[in-house]
């Protein structure tokens, strides 16, 4: 089964940082839709953000737009029944990916982790957000600040590949599904970006592509990821790149995280990376949930964290982009994020207390046991 699409030229891409940028852009695009709105999201929870999307989607459906929403059954466990009813009553088609069932055993681990919005078959948003307040509503204390995330808005030929990816999944629920003809005009023209879609499930094309670009990098490899549990091949490629003089930097979630055990388990990988010359930064202001990497002038952005669990169980989707403007924007973003981090040095790492070491070993062992589940 082919999981990798071809490179497409003449696309336009735009980096949108945090919910204050990407949510208004996504909602405005839905509100202007004339033909179709397609969504595929892992995390969907009722609340202020979901209310805005439900309102925009129901309005679109009632004016005759084809609205299809695929949610992950586990990721959308926080979506109220009343909200689902409101969507369906307005004509929104909603399906749940891989409904949880006790008798399915380990098959319950297979999740749809993608984050994708397609409007009128001409414009797409892809990245790492969920439709949930965590991404766009600040709380009173620092630990509950809105999660740090990015989305990419894209127009051009690559949108057809994203559309094919969504349609293939949706047809599992509605065989023979087809969309109304796209409405011409009304969206930004094409640009200079060369873009490719990479999907992930078992074949691990996202990881293989990242490792290949790390191996070919001559100047820099910068990576931001929420859950740092990388495979051996990713760790080895990062170490070897640093040893040959490439500027390798990794930004990971700090103490503000939704999975504290991963924060501790991931630290088992620090020693060899730091010793090889890799620089590691822990983000401090809020939960860093971004999944973005840059190798020289090549960029990968999307839903995949490059961790064992994502690569083994999840449907993922990343965009690979070569475009000077986006490259500059990503570089500025990552440099800004590093300023909000606490850098971990090898000397500091060697001096960490015994209690911390024991906690890391414990969670690391638990993590390895979980990864043996087939």
The DSSP string of 70-115 is EEETTTTTBS-HHHHHHHHHTT-EEEEES---GGGGGGGG--B--E
pTM for the full predicted model: 0.92
> Is residue 271 within 8 Å of 357, Cβ to Cβ?
no
Q: Answer yes or no: is pLDDT of 140 > 60.
A: no
> Is residue 102 within 8 Å of 17, Cβ to Cβ?
no
291 has catalytic annotation: yes
State the pLDDT at residue 142. 44
Catalytic, out of 113, 148, 199, 308 = 113
213 has catalytic annotation: no
First to last CA, the chain: 21
Q: Would you give the DSSP letter of residue 44?
A: B
d(CA 105, CA 346): 42
What is the residue-averaged pLDDT of the chain?
Answer: 89
State the pLDDT at residue 356. 79
Phi, psi dihedrals of residue 298, rounded to the nearest 5°: -95, 135
β-pair partners for 96 = 71
120 has catalytic annotation: yes
> Is residue 361 within 8 Å of 232, Cβ to Cβ?
no
Selection from 247, 277, 88, 120 nearest residue 188 by Cα:
120
Tokens (6 digits) for 173: 């629920």
Beta strand segments in the chain, E: 8-17, 36-41, 66-72, 93-97, 115-119, 123-127, 150-155, 193-200, 220-225, 247-253, 279-283, 292-295, 298-302, 316-322, 341-344
Buried b (16+ CB within 10 A) or exposed e, 106-143: eebbbbbbbbbbbbbbbbbbbbbbbbbbbbbbeeeeee
115 has catalytic annotation: yes
String of DSSP letters for 226-251: SS--B-HHHHHHHHHHHHTT-EEEEE
pLDDT bracket for residue 182 (50, 70, 90): low
State the pLDDT at residue 275. 95
Selection from 331, 194, 221 nearest residue 277 by Cα:
221
Among 78-92, 148-162, 299-313, where is mean pLDDT lowest? 299-313
Catalytic, out of 199, 207, 267, 289 = 289
Q: Answer yes or no: is pLDDT of 159 > 60.
A: yes
Catalytic, out of 18, 72, 112, 120 = 120
If one compares 291 and 305, the residue with the highest pLDDT of the two is 291
Who's near 198: CB < 8 A, 6+ residues apart? Answer: 3, 4, 5, 205, 206, 209, 300, 302, 317, 318, 319, 320
If one compares 236 and 348, the residue with the highest pLDDT of the two is 236
Domains annotated for the chain, with CATH where assigned, are 8-191 (3.30.870.10), 205-307+320-371 (3.30.870.10)
Per-residue pLDDT tens over the stretch 222-268:
999 999 988 889 999 999 999 999 999 999 999 898 888 888 888 88
Per-residue pLDDT tens over the stretch 113-139:
999 999 999 999 999 999 999 998 765
Catalytic, out of 148, 207, 213, 291 = 291
């Amino acid at each position: 089964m082919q999981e990798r699409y071809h490179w497409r030229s003449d696309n336009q891409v735009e980096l949108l940082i945090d919910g204050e940028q990407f949510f208004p852009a996504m909602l405005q695009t839905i509100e202007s839709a004339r033909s179709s709105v397609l969504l595929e999201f892992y995390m969907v929870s009722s609340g202020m953000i979901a209310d805005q999307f439900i309102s925009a989607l129901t309005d679109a459906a009632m004016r005759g737009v084809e609205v299809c929403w695929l949610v992950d059954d586990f990721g959308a466990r926080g979506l109220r029944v009343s909200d689902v009813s409101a969507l369906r009553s307005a004509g929104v088609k909603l399906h749940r990916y891989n409904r949880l069932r006790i008798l399915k055993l380990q098959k319950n681990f297979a999740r749809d982790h993608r984050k994708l919005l397609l409007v009128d078959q001409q414009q797409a948003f892809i990245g790492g957000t969920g439709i949930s307040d965590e991404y766009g509503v600040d709380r009173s204390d620092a630990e509950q600040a809105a999660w740090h995330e990015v989305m990419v808005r894209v127009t051009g030929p690559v949108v057809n590949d994203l559309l094919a990816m969504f349609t293939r999944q949706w047809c599992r629920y509605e065989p023979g599904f087809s969309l109304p003809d796209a409405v011409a005009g009304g969206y930004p023209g094409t640009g200079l970006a060369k873009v490719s879609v990479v999907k992930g499930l078992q074949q691990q094309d996202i990881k293989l592509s990242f490792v290949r670009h790390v191996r070919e990098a001559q100047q820099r490899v910068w990576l931001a990821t929420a859950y740092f549990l990388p495979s051996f091949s990713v760790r080895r490629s990062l170490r070897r790149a640093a040893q040959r003089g490439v500027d390798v930097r990794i930004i990971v979630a700090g103490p503000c995280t939704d999975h504290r055990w991963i924060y501790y388990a991931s630290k088992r990988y620090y020693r060899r990376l730091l010793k090889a010359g890799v620089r590691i930064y822990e983000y401090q202001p809020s939960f860093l949930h971004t999944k973005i990497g840059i190798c020289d002038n090549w960029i990968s952005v999307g839903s995949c964290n490059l961790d064992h669990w994502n690569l083994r169980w999840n449907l993922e989707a990343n965009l690979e982009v070569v475009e000077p403007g986006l490259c500059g924007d990503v570089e500025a973003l990552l440099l800004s994020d590093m300023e909000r981090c606490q850098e971990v040095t090898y000397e500091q790492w060697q001096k960490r207390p015994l209690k911390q070491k024991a906690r890391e070993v414990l969670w690391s062992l638990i993590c390895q046991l979980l990864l043996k589940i087939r």
